Amino acid sequence: MSSDEKVRSSMDAARDPAAPVLPTVNPDIEKPQPEVASLHPAVYIASWITLSSSVIVFNKWILDSAGFHFPIFLTTWHLVFATVMTQILARFTTILDSRKKVPMTGRVYLRAIVPIGVFFSLSLICGNQAYLYLSVAFIQMLKATMPVVLLLATWGLGVAPPNMKTLGNVSFIVVGVIIASLGEIKFDMTGFLYQCGGIVFEAIRLVMVQRILSSAEFKMDPLVSLYYYAPACALMNGFVCLIMEAPRLTMADIQMVGGFVLFANALVAFLLNVSVVFLIGKTSSLVLTLSGVLKDILLVFASMFLFGDPVSLLQAFGYGIALCGLVYYKLGAEMLKEYIGQGGMMWADFGARKPVARKLVVFGVVLTGMFLVLAGLAPTFAPESDQLLKSKIGGLLGEKGA
């Protein structure tokens, strides 16, 4: 018998056979749970585009087509609904737990949140007032100037030094919007001023957020921001509503639109804020920029199809220049070249691996483009059919509201 066998046999003899054998794996340690499969980023992008477009079209329909000419009341109702929903989410879910990291005190709330909330309320009021005078298509074209106004606001408030090169980069946006404005068939100066005011107030609000709440401890996602801003803004908007709209607002006006429609409108507006939180966490700045451009283009076609808003060729040409300038400004020349190169390589690789799928994608894009163009031209070349379809959609919404 070898020495190793003698040692092993002596150890076995010394072991008490009645003693429990220690397990090689600790049973108290929980087994790692498999990772939950997350949704594809395209789902979050599609959800955000759908909700964002739905809010704009929904507001336009209520304020214009449905004859409910009370934009301040509608804005106040959205904020009250958002206040209630964020309070419920804060108490019964974990989606707003990041608010606990924000050192919010009464002094900070009065000095930071309330002033920002004032400009937030003004931007919402002016933005909704514009729906009474301008088409959705033209409003979206005017909104393309937001980066320019935001840039000027950062210079004016001393947040960033003036940069002529950056100003030159955004000049294409200004030129495009000017051309689009000259081509607007139903131009209204009152609505134009309201929309410009909303853009200016929103730009000032964003700069104030950047300046006052710039420290890391005050970083808040859109939903947490809504949790803090909504109550203050609801009070301010409610006060303005009492003075300007409450004297002529009756229950008959609310019943004409319908409680269900108002509830659905506020719910869609709130879900938009929820979708933004997930979109930011799941996508890149490139995807956000291109998604915003795609949303604006789709809204222009939706406005032409649903509301019969005319868009001239000059206007479309100017808007195209503005969108190209917007993408160039947000991404920059070098990054744009890099992304285009990467996209070309990925498209070629996709075609090599799945040629049939690539042809189907091309066919689907062409088909969708043709549908959008024909839908946009329908109010001009087939007004009877277009009016019939819109009356059916309006009747359906009216029946639900009743």
86-129 per-position pLDDT tens digit: 999 889 888 888 888 888 888 888 888 888 888 988 998 999 89
Of the ranges 220-234, 296-310, 329-343, 344-358, which one carries the lowest mean pLDDT score? 329-343
Q: State residue 367's pLDDT score.
A: 77
Tell me, what's the pLDDT at 172? 80
Distances (CA, A) of 328 to 147, 333, 340: 12, 6, 12
Q: Are 300 and 137 in contact (CB under 8 A)?
A: yes
Backbone angles phi, psi at 184, to 5 degrees: -65, 125
Contact 130, 139 (CB under 8 A): yes
pLDDT value at residue 165: 77
Contact assessment for residue 327 and residue 296, using Cβ atoms and an 8 Å cutoff: no
pLDDT tens per residue, range 252-300: 889 899 889 999 999 999 998 888 777 766 666 566 667 777 888 888 8
Which tokens belong to 231? 């109550």
The pLDDT-based confidence of 373 (bands split at 50, 70, 90) is low
What's the chain's length in residues? Answer: 402
CA angle 39, 55, 377 (to 5 degrees): 100
Please, is 7 exposed, middle or buried when counting C-beta atoms within 10 Å of its C-beta (0-12, 13-18, 19+)? exposed
pLDDT, position 142: 87
Residues 6 or more apart in contact with residue 259 via CB below 8 angstroms: 401
Dihedral sign for Cα atoms in the order 365, 370, 373, 376: negative
Q: Comparing 150 with 78, which gets the higher pLDDT?
A: 78
Read off the pLDDT of each residue in 227-249 and give the average, rounded to a whole number: 90
What pTM was computed for the model?
A: 0.69
Whole-number pLDDT of residue 135: 86
Is 400 or 158 the better-scoring residue by pLDDT?
158
State the pLDDT at residue 268.
93
DSSP element (H, E) containing 124? helix 114-130
C-alpha to C-alpha distance for 196 and 4, rounded to whole angstroms: 91
247 phi, psi to nearest 5 deg: -60, -25
pLDDT of residue 110: 86
Residue 302 has pLDDT above 70, yes or no: yes
**Of 118-122, 189-193, 234-238, 325-329, minimum mean pLDDT range:** 325-329
Q: What percentage of the chain carries pLDDT values higher than 70?
A: 75
The token pair at 98 is 């990041």
Alpha-helix runs per DSSP H in 35-156: 41-60, 71-92, 106-108, 114-130, 136-143, 146-156
Tokens coding 38: 């997350």
Whether the pLDDT of residue 71 is over 70: the answer is: yes
The pLDDT assigned to 67 comes to: 86
**For 158, left (φ over 0), alpha (ψ -120 to 50), or beta?**
left
When pLDDT is cut at 50, 70 and 90, the band that residue 72 belongs to is very high
pLDDT in tens, 186-213: 788 999 999 999 999 988 988 887 776 5
Task: Output 113 or 25, whichever has higher pLDDT.
Answer: 113
Answer whether residue 365 shows pLDDT above 50.
yes
| Nearest alpha-carbon partner for 268 in 111, 58, 93 | 58
More confident residue, 123 or 361: 123
CB 45 within 8 A of CB 283: yes
| CA 170 – CA 328 distance, rounded (Å) | 8
Residue 270 Cα distances to 222, 239, 254, 392, angstroms? 11, 22, 20, 27
**Contact between 249 and 77 (Cβ < 8 Å):** no
CB 226, CB 86: distance < 8 Å: yes
Q: Which of 61-65, 95-99, 152-156, 355-359 has the lowest mean pLDDT?
A: 355-359
Distance in angstroms (rounded) separating the CA atoms of residues 237 and 122: 8
Confidence of residue 148 (pLDDT cuts 50, 70, 90): confident
The better pLDDT of the pair 52, 283 is held by: 52
